[in-house]
Structure 1
Amino acid sequence: MRAIWNGTVLAESDETVVVEGNHYFPPDAVRWDELERSDRRSVCPWKGEARYWSVSGAGRAGEAVGWEYPEPTSAARQIAGHVAFWRGVEIRARPWTDRSGTSRSCAPRSSTAPSSGPPRSRTPRA
């Protein structure tokens, strides 16, 4: 899978973890040089506290396009440190080559209108 924002690949992996329809990319698959930490945080009752990432230098359009659970609850431990994307980031299957040598790709899945985004998140009170 690939996470693509305005033509820039933000993450790429064949080993994403899918939770509530969102592909979570492992930390070593994320292009951290394309992202910067956001001040935004939210809390999911069953996953824990989420921290957000923005596209470096993209301004408001690239704010908080990804999120991770650095220390999730035990129920969500499989996504610890993994990053999921939304807000204009397209999630697409990586191209592959079939036995005839023809390059193929699955239809793209857009995350511009996710069914759940960071599911049932709420901003904690200060």
Structure 2
Amino acid sequence: MKAVLDGSVIAEAPQEDLVRIEGNWYFPPASVTAGALEETATPYTCPWKGEAQYYAVVADGRRLDDRAWSYPTPYPTAIERVGTDFSGYVAFWKEVQVVD
């Protein structure tokens, strides 16, 4: 599967390597294109997953703040609930489309 912004691939991995949580596909950290994400300072803590890290998605000179996020150190109970360790996996929002 691919995460794509305006034709630029932001992340790519086989579906079996992704994790699906609450309707969002989370990509393994190694599948993200180098330079495609820049950390932002947006704070958020999910009540059941833990503290999130938000990112700006950057492609072809376009920067979209807070269109990606991950949980660098999710709560142990979240890992149990999901059934796999999704530490650092990245999900995308809005203009970034996840396609087969």
TM-score (norm: length of structure 1): 0.68
Give the gaps of 5 or more residues in structure 1: 94-126
> Given the alignment of the two structures, is residue 84 of structure 1 paired with residue 91 of structure 2, yes or no?
yes
Q: Supply the distance in 2 between the matched residues of 1:24 and 1:32 (Cα, whole angstroms).
A: 17
Summarize deviations over 1:29-58 as a string: whole Å, max 9, x none: 011311111111211110001111112352
Alignment correspondent of 2:20: 18
Counterpart of 2:6 in structure 1 is 6
Structure 1 segments (4+ residues) deviating >4 Å? none
* CA shift digits 1:51-96 (9 cap, x unpaired): 111123524xx11110000010012332110000012110101xxx
Relative contact order: is structure 1 or structure 2 higher (C-alpha 8 Å, sep ≥ 6)? 2
- Superposition CA RMSD, Å: 1.2
In structure 2, the residue corresponding to 1:76 is in which secondary structure? helix
In structure 2, the partner of 1:115 is: none
Aligned with 2:62 (options 58, 61, 79): 58
Count of residues paired in the alignment:
91
**In structure 2, how many angstroms separate the alpha carbons of the residues matched to 1:58 and 1:41?**
22
Shift of 1:8: 0.9
The normalised TM-score by structure 2 is 0.84
Between Structure 1 and Structure 2, whose CA radius of gyration is higher? 1
| SS, match of residue 74 in structure 2 | coil
Q: Distance in 2 between matches of 1:92 and 1:29?
A: 14
C-alpha distance in structure 2 between counterparts of 1:38 and 1:6, whole Å: 21
The structure in which a higher percent of residues are strand is: 2
**Matching residue within 52, 65, 72 for 1:70:** 72
Structure 2 SS opposite 1:28:
helix
